[in-house]
Every structure is written in C-alpha cells, then in structure tokens.
Amino acid sequence: QVHLVESGGGLVQAGGSLRLSCASSGRAFSSYNMGWFRQAPGKEREFVAAISWSGGRTRYEDSVKGRFTISRDNAKNTVYLQMNSLKPEDTAVYYCAAGAAYDFSERYEYTYWGQGTQVTVSS
C-alpha cells in the first residue's frame, strides 16, 4: 500500500513559481513511476508530468514544457513539481499518482493517488 500526500500549493500571481511536493509512505516508492495530474473546475483530470522509477525518463504535457520540472528523491520517498512562469490557466487541483504506468500520460495506469493540493494563479 502506498499513501501519497501533496503539499506546496497556494495562491500566486501570474509569472510566479511554486514547488509542489508529494511524500509517500511505504517501502515501494522507488519501484513506481510517478505522475502529476491536475483538474480544473468542470474539466477532466489531465496529465501534467511524469517521471520513471529511476528518474531517468520524464514526460510533460505540451503546455507546461519549459515551465515545469518533475524530479524525485527516492531516498526521501518524495516527488516534486517545480512550476515556473505560472499562468492563470494553470489554476487547478494538482494530484500526484503512483503506479506501473507504462503510458505515463494515462491516468488509469496509476494505482495510488493523493488527495490533491490547490494551485491558484491570479492574473
């Protein structure tokens, strides 16, 4: 069993930065691929970024490429999402997820989910 807890969300002005963290309990963290997804009001949950279990592979949704960076520290059982140059359209609840996820962007391939953290970007 893996328990995920996100933190680091908040209110920020457009152009600002936030760093989200996702801490995992359980000893299997380093064996899972990790993803970040987001869900805005009235919209489907969408893929943002993902990282392989070793950290050797990453993938980003096109709209966040060059602005967001995903990383992980397996010694700390934590995955991060550094978000720079934030835009109002980045406003959403951000979720981290863990799983085998052969297709990084497919949310149904992730087994474990956190409760989410709110990110609000004001214009």
pLDDT of 34 reads 97
pLDDT band at 18 (very low <50, low <70, confident <90, very high): very high
**CA-based angle 119:121:18, to the nearest 5?**
55
pLDDT digits (tens, 9 = 90+) for 72-92: 999 999 999 999 999 999 999
Q: Nearest 10 degrees: CA dihedral of 48, 51, 108, 102? A: 130
Cβ(34)–Cβ(96) under 8 Å? yes
pLDDT of residue 100: 87
103 Cβ partners below 8 Å, 6+ apart? 109
